[in-house]
Amino acid sequence: MNALLSIITVTKNDLPGLMATYESLVSQDCSLDCLEWIVIDAESSDGSVEFLKGLHPGFDFTYISEGDSGIFDAMNKGVDKAMGQYLLFLNAGDLLFNESVLTNVLPYLHKNSLKIVAGKVALKWEDVCVLGVDVFPWVPHQAAFIHRSCFGNRYYDDNLKFYGDLKFWMTLKDGGLFRVQRIELNISQFFMGGAGNNPTNIFERLKERNRLSIEFKESVLKVIARTGFFIFLYFSWKLFGSRFYYKLVMKA
């Protein structure tokens, strides 16, 4: 089967999130004949595997459940299994923004000449929501339809804990493959609070991000400015709490 679009979902012990992601797929208002859904499960013990076993969606679907070394290792497994011309990573708990997302995006993908088609994400934390986030000059992974030619022998660095997706974009840019068509469309809803944006990990994230700066020869001024901003975020969290912290992060 040669699908147009492979949606890859990485999950571990998040049955409610997995079910919500699935519901956002089946609620799309277009034919899903061109879609395959690939779920990479890290040996969940919460009923996720049983849920997956019982699914019979109206589109191509496969899953594996086995141990991995982290989210980027799991994403690489999804890349290896994908048959689509474009890949979208929509992990457990991430939702397509509304029922018309694929209807609006598929015409771009049918051109099959674009390296990356990228929209925007809606960020949510409890009752706080920020729409239209595009993380320029990069693109949000949950809103990026990546042509499979971008991968080749390139994989996500599974030695990284937080910024494997960013390193992938930076590697593409160095190779002249970070060619993006940006579209004014909210593609997905992403719920904050995971390891990648949790304030308890802020300095571990900073170290990893600054190592990428050194590897890709970003300016010292960028490193200094980023370090100062992370310190500001940390003390904002300590002084004013998580709500204030997430508002800052989502708007930044």
Domain extent listing, the chain: 5-191, 194-252
Q: Which two tokens stand for residue 167?
A: 């390193």
Please tell me the pTM assigned to this model: 0.95
pLDDT value, residue 1: 53
Question: Cα separations (Å) of 141 from 8, 164, 209, 210, 224?
Answer: 11, 11, 17, 20, 26
80-128 tens-digit pLDDT: 999 999 999 999 999 999 999 999 999 999 987 889 999 999 999 999 9
Q: Mean pLDDT over all residues of the chain?
A: 95
pLDDT at 146 over 80: yes
Q: What percent of the chain has pLDDT over 70?
A: 99
Separation CA 67–CA 57 (nearest Å): 25
Among 48, 165, 14, 29, smallest CA distance to 97 is for 29
Q: Which two tokens stand for residue 179?
A: 């060619």
Phi, psi angles (nearest 5°) of residue 75: -60, -40
pLDDT value, residue 67: 93
What CATH number was assigned to the domain covering residues 5-191? 3.90.550.10
Interval 173-200 mean pLDDT:
94
- Angle of CA points 231, 133, 227, to nearest 5°: 15
The residue assigned the tokens 């590697």 is 171
Phi, psi angles (nearest 5°) of residue 107: -60, -35
Q: Which two tokens stand for residue 17?
A: 């999130």
- DSSP SS3 for 7: strand
Note the Cα 170 to chain centre separation in Å. 15
Q: Which residues are CB-contacts of 113 (< 8 A; sequence separation ≥ 6)?
A: none
Separation CA 205–CA 69 (nearest Å): 18
Separation CA 20–CA 26 (nearest Å): 10
Residues composing the chain: 252
The residue assigned the tokens 């400015």 is 225
pLDDT value, residue 112: 78
Among 85, 88, 83, smallest CA distance to 101 is for 88
pLDDT at 153 over 90: no
Interval 184-202 mean pLDDT:
94
The residue assigned the tokens 């474009």 is 86
- DSSP SS3 for 125: strand
